[in-house]
Amino acid sequence: MLELQKLLTTIETMSEELAHQSRAHREQTARAQEVLRAFAQVDDALLDKVERAADLDPSWRGARPVGERLDEHHAPEAPDHDASLIAVDGSQIYPDRHGMALYYLINTGGIVLRQGTGQAPLTFTRPQVFFREKDLFNEAEELIDSQTVNNLREMAELEELARLVAEERAYWQGDLDRRVVAMMDGPLLLWVSEREYEQSSHAHRRLQEYLACLDAIRAAGGLLVGYVDRPRSANVLRLLHVAELELMAIDKETLRATRYRGLSDRFLFDWLRPQERSALFASTSRINRRDFAPAGHEIYFFYLNVAQADGPDDANIVRVDVPAWVAAQPETLDLVQQAVYRDCRGTGYPYVLARAHELAVVTQQERRQFEQMLATQLMRRGRWPYTSTKAYLKSLL
Amino acid sequence: MNDTSPLFGRTLRTGTLTFTFGSTLPHSRQPAFGELVRVPAGAGQVYGVVYDVLTQDDPFVRQVIAASDQLEAEKIADMRERRQSPVEITALAVAYREGGHVYQRIPPRPPATLEPVYGCDDEEVREVLQGWDSFRTILNHAQCPAEELLAACIRHAARCQPAERRRQFLVEAGRELTRQLSADPLRLDAILRRLGGDQF
């Protein structure tokens, strides 16, 4: 029970501080935009600073400019081309030691929308239940945690995406003129903690499987996109901070002393006009430099205004991740930019991603129905299904 | 009765007087207002006349509609054919089949949920709606637009007659209506007006 009257003072303080913070952020953003313009020309001195920062502190998550100017803004001039849009999303039920049975579930949902055909899109769902001991317990014989299930779900999503891209290419009989844009919800870079990377063979296997999926999508001519809605990343702001430092003044301490703390890149680019994208950047994160780049899949990103109305107050700045091989051809990058913008029209978010999410999501009601069906089958086989006392009491509240 | 009849959907809710079924068929293939449909119930069949077609909305549809000037054909087709918001169609139970006989009465028990709902071919329509006992069932149902429904049902039954018999069928239906509604000339007039014209 949340006794709201006990929080009245906190709510007042919180709103006051947030309003103050918001004003401060606006001022900081204006200053950051000035710095962006002041250091707009990308030169060797700037690239040396980025290189030094990334070498000195491998955990530094900055941005390496890929183009010639930081303040580049670009809207494709060529007319829209119809493409096939593919999106996959996933959801899960985590293992619950208080539940009637130990299991976890991963449900992937996907959609293939063929622009220009007038056909209803193809949709599918793929539920998988894991209940065997080998699936449920890790090497230390502990019940796997929610992060592990998330990792497995992420892999299942990418595998489905790779499969769908190959099928779509086959549908068009290998015609490479038909563009196939494969969309994921979220960043394309895999998250692997350094501790996990150093200590777990699973992490390496997961990384290799992930990169193999990227290989497969590339081989099938898929244009892979990671769409990040309302991004909180500040890679370009960290780049600006480094740009202001002298090369030899860059060390771990100065890297952390950024004046842009609390800001996000999306505010930095709120001047982009509808359908315009920012310059292209490469993430300097360790996994990108160490694992993705050597495998030919270095991840680039740009910011894109997917709003319909013009002006900073209406801007809807999102981050779009693409592998380097998608960005290699300007016309391909334009096509991706157009496809994402076109699919966001009206909804402010890619239609295909919204639909993939809708197909993948497992509601509480569906979960209850699944467990009721399981309970019935268990009873038929002489096993009385029961939850823990704690779970039972919670269900009464 | 034909097992190859079109499958319109499956029952969602059923009652003694009406049954509602969900359909994911495209708009053009959904049963029309006044059309006869059939659904298994136990060892027999229940026949109903379609009187309400309801397309549900949800927040996502509303969001997409906000972009209606830029909506692509594929997204419209997706909304109509793929999304899990089926069209709900309600039919008024007017007859049932049991032991090979058709009875124009309220069925003894309603269909169960998730039963398939089929269309009826011309022969079946003629068999089920011959005689005029279902007129009273329709006229007495308070929740449906009875005059409109009865007129649509008669037109549907007329279309299922051989071409040379259609006019005669309508004349006979009109006579029966005149007999049943002799005390309610306004209602009779409303129905007869809806039966007129070449396009029945």
Global ipTM? 0.78
Q: Say whether B83 and A346 touch across the interface (CB within 8 A).
A: no
Tell whether A80 lies on the interface with B, counting CB pairs under 8 A.
no
pLDDT at A300: 98
pLDDT at A54 over 90: yes
Closest residue of A to B75, CA-based? A120
Identify the CA nearest to A323 among candidates A289, A342, A299.
A299
Interface test with B, best of A117, A125, A351 (most B CBs within 10 A): A351
pLDDT at A326 over 80: yes
Domain ranges of chain A: 31-88+111-124+146-362, 365-396
CA-based nearest distance A385→chain B, Å = 27
Q: Say whether B78 and A120 touch across the interface (CB within 8 A).
A: yes
The answer to whether A83 touches A335, Cβ cutoff 8 Å, is yes
Q: Helix, strand, or coil here: A98?
A: coil
- Tokens standing for B85? 């918001």
Cα–Cα distance for residue pair A306/A344, rounded to 1 Å? 7
Q: Taking all residues of chain B, what is their mean pLDDT, rounded to a whole number?
A: 89
pLDDT at A140: 81
Contacts (Cβ under 8 Å, ≥6 apart) of A293? A324
Tell whether A347 lies on the interface with B, counting CB pairs under 8 A.
yes
Cα–Cα distance for residue pair B9/B55, rounded to 1 Å? 14
User: What pTM does this model have?
Assistant: 0.82
B67, B73, B77 member nearest A346 (Cβ): B67
A72-86 pLDDT, tens per residue? Answer: 999 999 888 899 999
Among A residues 132-171, those touching chain B with beta carbons less than 8 Å apart: none
Q: Say whether A118 and B83 touch across the interface (CB within 8 A).
A: no
Instruction: Find chain B residues with C-beta within 8 A of A121's C-beta.
Output: 74, 77-78, 82
Tell me the pLDDT band of A32, cut-offs 50, 70 and 90: very high
pLDDT at B199: 53
pLDDT at B3: 60
Strands A222-228 and A179-185, how do they pair?
parallel
Cα–Cα distance for residue pair A32/A261, rounded to 1 Å? 11
Tell whether A33 lies on the interface with B, counting CB pairs under 8 A.
no
A108-155 pLDDT, tens per residue? Answer: 999 999 999 999 999 999 999 999 999 999 878 899 999 999 999 999
Q: Taking all residues of chain A, what is their mean pLDDT, rounded to a whole number?
A: 93
pLDDT at A197 over 70: yes
Tell me the pLDDT band of B158, cut-offs 50, 70 and 90: very high
Q: Say whether B78 and A113 touch across the interface (CB within 8 A).
A: yes
B60, B70, B74 member nearest A345 (Cβ): B70
The position carrying tokens 């230390």 is: A140
CA-based nearest distance B59→chain A, Å = 11
pLDDT at B68: 64
Tell me the pLDDT band of A272, cut-offs 50, 70 and 90: very high
CA-based nearest distance A125→chain B, Å = 12
Helices (H), chain B: 59-65, 73-81, 122-129, 133-140, 146-159, 166-180, 185-195
